[in-house]
Amino acid sequence: MSEEKSLNFIEEIIEADLESGKYKTILTRFPPEPNGYLHIGHAKSICLNFGLGLKYGGKTNLRFDDTNPVTEDTEYVESIKDDIRWLGFNWANEFYASDYFDQLYAFAIELIKKDLAYVDDISAEEMAILKGSPTEPGKNSPFRSRSIEENLALFTAMKEGKYKDGEKVLRAKIDMGHVNMLMRDPIIYRIKHAHHHRTGDKWCIYPMYDFAHGQSDSIENITHSICTLEFIPHRELYDWCIEKLNIFPSHQYEFARLNMTYTVMSKRKLLQLVNEGYVSGWDDPRMPTLSGFRRKGYTPESIRNFCDKIGVAKRENLIDISLLEFCLREELNKTSLRVMAVLDPVKLIITNYEDGKTEELISENGPEESMGSRTVPFSKELWVEREDFMEVPAKKWFRLAPGALVRLKSAYIVKCEGFTKDEAGNVTEIQCTYIPESKSGGDSSGISVKGTIHWVSAAQAINAEIRLYDRLFKAENPAAEEGDFKDNINPDSLQVINNAYIEPSLATATPDSRYQFLRKGYFCLDKDSTKEKLVFNRTVTLKDAWGKEVKRN
Ligand code: ATP
Ligand code: MG
């Protein structure tokens, strides 16, 4: 078991409820609206809800909150299920709020019969005026005193499609002078002549969130209904509906939503990025969606660890994305396969190495012996990283420079004897000699060098495309900036390298594998890869370059 951790406030409530016998077992739910892909904020809610179910021997339902026919789609339903499974959780039941439309309709009829709901004909504008303000009570609508019979007839006619969108609504009859504005006769049903992705054209009236959510919880016997802080004012209405309908008393608890630096976290905003072409899709590796993180190479473990580390707060805050990256590095450092890839290649010729000869050198796959080793071909012509050579070396430069010695990883020590430049002054070739006795694993040269660089053998190397990602936004909290949040997009968030060379073992790379390209970061195979061209995404750099930069300034 992990180290002793203090309980979060929801766990405290649950333990008290179990101890007092209020519930024998707990049932939580994750209730996404299928109007977009899940983002890292949803992961927080998933880990919390499913985590509680697991911790307390209870269960968790997946319930699609599909009461808004216009924005919802089955594509989203499938992606949401995929993402939850990928995160490592299983739901006890898959439900849809739309499965309850008949029941919810019956609840509405019941409220009308109890004189607790009425059909209102006033316009949205009039309704807003009559609603009052936080400091001023509202006024009753002239239609508030309709008889039960008339309300039943009108509501039935609404259901039968006798009216146009917006012509009538059903409102709960509560109190137009209530201090909580949401309790001032909230709309509970509206007319919407729209095709629903599950119920088709059966309905032209749809329940509002507040009339669907609590009742759906209750229908499923959810014990602890956990949502984000903005729903605090809704709790009163949630409780009112349950009380008046005299149904299973589910309870709502609120926690602070996850906000993260350098990104946005609302599906509406993310949809804009997709629709307006700022990213290649919902699973663009720069997106904060779970599918984006997955494609970028994030692991479910790293995201679960992150959610665990940030805990469950009662107050809104902004979490540093470096914490998520830290969780990821911590894992990839242990598990990723070490390989060699040269992203900005320059030729290195070993002048005293036999023409046409190839040696298969052994290289470790990772820090653990259990990860094994592989062979990498070595020959006279190699690719090395352009930045590993300096014509005029800086102080403490331990890499390639005229006259300098350096070790080629898992191979030999070489001495730089010269280099060639083109007319533009770019280095086109570096000439070295190698020391045959210095072979890694059996070095008898007696020479010690400070620098080790990575390389690939030119004849066997595979040409690959490498995609390097940076933050999608320049501003720490783009949604809080003035103006359009998209004005803060980082124009350099994607860098595509077309002519990288990777070691031949990567020919059989699989999408599930995680690689550390030595000294370059963690990478994974992208779904755009073809037989002709492998494409790799950089998942994360080896170190937190941003953190360092801040310190330097
Ligand atoms: P968005 O504003 O991104 O569209 P939403 O709250 O409308 O989010 P839903 O599909 O309704 O999205 O959310 C499903 C569940 O996930 C809800 O219980 C919601 O409270 C929770 N959730 C959504 N965003 C976050 C977040 N940033 N942090 C924690 N939980 C979240
Ligand atoms: Mg929502």
What lies within 8 Å, CB to CB, of 135 at 6+ separation is none
Looking at per-residue confidence, does 155 or 69 come out higher? Answer: 155
Distance from Cα 87 to the centre of ligand 2, integer Å:
20
What CATH number does the domain containing 532 carry? 2.40.240.10
Residue 193 lies in a domain: yes
Residue 407 sits in the same domain as residue 477: no
Q: Which atom of ligand 1 is nearest to the CA of 49?
A: 18
Which atom of ligand 1 is least distant from the CA of 35? 10
Residue 553: per-residue pLDDT: 29
What confidence score (pLDDT) does residue 472 get? 96
Based on the domain organization, do 226 and 302 belong to the same domain? no
4: in domain:
no
What does the DSSP assignment read for 499-553? EEEE-GGGGG--TT--EEETTTEEEEE-TT--SS-EEEEEEE-SS-HHHHHHHH-
Say whether 198 is catalytic.
no
Whether the per-residue pLDDT at 70 is higher than 90: the answer is: no
Using the 3D structure, point to which of 454, 480, 513 is the last residue of a domain: 454
257 Cβ inside 6 Å of ligand 1: yes
With cut-offs at 50, 70 and 90, classify the pLDDT of residue 71. Answer: confident
Per-residue confidence band for 543, with pLDDT thresholds at 50, 70 and 90 = confident
Tell me if 329 CB under 6 Å of ligand 1: no
Residue 1 lies in a domain: no
How much is the average pLDDT of 75-102? 97
Distance CA 349, CA 308 (A): 50
pLDDT tens per residue, range 185-212: 999 999 999 999 999 999 999 999 999 9
What local confidence, expressed as pLDDT, does residue 263 receive? 96
Residue 550 has pLDDT above 50, yes or no: no
The pLDDT value given to residue 544: 74
Give the mean pLDDT of 517-521: 97
Residue with tokens 């450092």: 333
Which single residue is written with the structure tokens 């990288």?
Answer: 500
User: In terms of residue numbers, what domain contains 511?
Assistant: 267-337+464-552
Eight-state DSSP code of residue 370? G
CB of 31 closer than 6 angstroms to any ligand 1 atom:
yes
Instruction: State the average pLDDT over residues 286-307.
Output: 98
Q: How far apart are CA 54 and CA 48, in angstroms?
A: 10
Q: What is the pLDDT of residue 4?
A: 67
Please tell me the number of the ligand nearest to residue 35's CA.
1
- One domain, residues 511 and 412: no
Q: Are 230 and 41 in contact (CB under 8 A)?
A: no
pLDDT of residue 418: 97
Indicate which ligand has the atom closest to the C-alpha of 313.
1
What separation in Å is there between the alpha carbon of 42 and the centre of ligand 1? 6
Decide if pLDDT at 551 tops 50.
no
Task: Please tell me the total count of domains within the chain.
Answer: 3
If you take atom 8 of ligand 1, which residue's CA is the nearest one? Answer: 266
Query: How far apart (Å, rounded) are the C-alpha atoms in residues 514 and 336?
Result: 5
Residues 250 and 115 in one domain: yes
The answer, yes or no, to whether any atom of ligand 1 lies below 6 A from the CB of 34, is no
- Residue 380's pLDDT is what? 98
Q: Bigger pLDDT: 197 or 114?
A: 114
**Residue 118 belongs to a domain:** yes
* Same domain, yes or no: 281 and 345: no
Same domain, 195 and 223: yes
Do 15 and 147 fall within a single domain? Answer: yes
**323 and 363 together in one domain:** no
Active site residue 316: no
Residue 515 lies in a domain: yes
pLDDT (0 to 100) of residue 545: 60
Q: Tell me the CATH number at 99.
A: 3.40.50.620
Residue linked to tokens 């010729």: 349
Phi, psi (deg, nearest 5) at residue 276? -95, 10
**Distance in angstroms (rounded) separating the CA atoms of residues 298 and 325:** 9
Whether residue 127 sits in one domain with residue 51? yes
Nearest Cα residue to 449 out of 388, 402, 398: 398
Structural domain includes residue 212: yes
pLDDT at 69 over 90: no
3 inside domain: no
Within its chain, how far is the Cα of 138 from the centroid? 42
The pLDDT assigned to 5 comes to 77
From the CA of 146, how far away is ligand 1's center (Å)?
Answer: 38
Q: Which of 168, 173, 235, 257 is catalytic?
A: 257
pLDDT tens by residue, 343-353: 999 999 999 99
One domain for residues 305 and 381:
no
pLDDT digits (tens, 9 = 90+) for 410-435: 999 999 999 999 999 999 999 999 99
Please indicate whether residue 227, judged by its CB atom, sits closer than 6 Å to ligand 1: yes
Identify the CA nearest to 187 among candidates 204, 203, 205, 207. Answer: 207
Q: What is the mean pLDDT of the chain?
A: 95
How large is the average pLDDT for residues 379-388? 98
Select from 10, 45, 87, 273 the residue to mutate for testing ligand 1; criterion: most ligand atoms less than 8 Å from CB: 45
- Name the residue with higher pLDDT: 553 or 97: 97
Task: Output the CA torsion sign for 181, 184, 189, 191.
Answer: negative
Tens of pLDDT along 437-485?
A: 999 999 999 999 999 999 999 999 999 999 999 999 999 999 999 999 9
CB of 228 closer than 6 A to ligand 1? yes
Q: Does the C-beta of 32 come closer than 6 Å to ligand 1?
A: yes
* 312/391 same-domain check: no
Question: Model confidence over 485-497: pLDDT tens digits?
Answer: 999 999 999 999 9
* pLDDT above 70 for 546: no
Is the pLDDT at 231 greater than 60? The verdict is yes
In a domain, 262, yes or no: no
Which of residues 199, 231, 257 is at a domain's end? 257
Q: Domain end: 454, 483, 512, which one?
A: 454
**pLDDT (mean) for 322-343:** 96
Examine the domain organization and report whether 305 and 384 are in the same domain: no
